[in-house]
A and B are shown apart, each in its own frame.
Chain A
Amino acid sequence: AQSVAQPEDQVNVAEGNPLTVKCTYSVSGNPYLFWYVQYPNRGLQFLLKYITGDNLVKGSYGFEAEFNKSQTSFHLKKPSALVSDSALYFCAVRDSILTGGGNKLTFGTGTQLKVEL
């Protein structure tokens, strides 16, 4: 079974400061990991993914995430937060050995990021 956890319901950060949104996962095989962002009254937008290769992946809007296999984590980071980054962030995982289930992603419960001036 595949699962993902986002331990923080909300993260508050001052504009200009670095931000981290945490995500841990559990899979049987290798993980395919994704981060999505949701703005109010909008659908989820893809930010970045880790499939294989370099542990540090870069994505849209200056976001990056670090894959850590030993800690089964995939934390989302940004060096300098903007007020416009305030949104709901979802981590998602798919187990690479999942068969018969198509492209079934399991999403975390979401972390609300609030960036204040």
Chain B
Amino acid sequence: DTAVSQTPKYLVTQMGNDKSIKCEQNLGHDTMYWYKQDSKKFLKIMFSYNNKELIINETVPNRFSPKSPDKAHLNLHINSLELGDSAVYFCASSLGTGGNQPQHFGDGTRLSIL
């Protein structure tokens, strides 16, 4: 029973292409997140949704667009991919937005730009 699942696990594509990553959680959580982990393992939040409403929108190029069709799903679409977008992207979820509940992470999508 995978709690937070992301697809695809690996994504290799050319510069300039558009790609999407999907995330689903079956934990009954109402808040979901996208993180980017760079090659030095530094983890940075990109976006967060609570009940389909965007609540965190960090300084991210507008080529990145999240979409939450319902509270169990959060997708990430990336336009005009650049070399610097190569990273591991993690989806996470939690209960509420009070900050006192742990976040549960998926196993990541490894994006490589050729």
Residue ranges of A at the interface with B (Cβ–Cβ < 8 Å): 32, 34, 36, 38, 41-46, 49, 51, 88, 90, 94-96, 98, 101-105, 107, 109-110
Shortest Cβ distance from residue A3 to the other chain B in the assembled complex, whole angstroms: 13
Report A59 CB to chain B, min CB distance, Å. Answer: 10
Flag if A109 contacts B108 (CB, 8 Å).
Answer: no
The stretch of B40-48, B63-71, B78-86 in contact with A is B40-48
Contact (Cβ within 8 A) A104 B41:
no
Name B48's contact: one of A51, A104, A109 (CB within 8 Å): A104
- B22 on the A face (CB < 8 A): no
> Looking across the interface, which residue of chain B has its beta carbon closest to that of A101?
B56
Enumerate 6 A-B pairs (CB-CB under 8 Å) in ascending A order: A94-B99, A98-B99, A101-B56, A103-B33, A105-B103, A109-B41
- Residue of B40, B42, B44, B97 near A103 (CB, 8 A) is B97
Beta-carbon contact of A102 and B102 below 8 Å: no
> Which residues does chain B contribute within 8 Å of A98, judged by CB atoms?
99
Q: How far is the CB of B35 from chain A (nearest CB, A)?
A: 8
Q: How far is the CA of A107 from the CA of B106 in the complex (A)?
A: 17
Instruction: Please report B residues at the A interface, Cβ cutoff 8 Å.
Output: 4, 31, 33, 40-45, 48, 50, 55-56, 90, 92, 94, 96-108
CA distance A39 to B45 in the complex (A): 20
CB atoms of A32 and B106 under 8 A apart: no
Interface contact A46-B99, CB-CB below 8 Å:
no
Instruction: State the CA gap A38–B90 with chains docked (Å).
Output: 12
Q: Which 7 A-B pairs have the closest CB atoms?
A: A43-B105, A102-B55, A46-B102, A94-B99, A102-B97, A44-B105, A107-B43
Question: Across the interface, do A42 and B107 meet the contact criterion of CB distance under 8 Å?
Answer: yes
| Cross-chain contact B102 with A34 (CB below 8 angstroms) | yes
Q: Which of B45, B97, B108 contacts A43 (CB 8 A)?
A: B108
In whole Å, how far is A99's beta carbon from the nearest beta carbon of chain B?
10
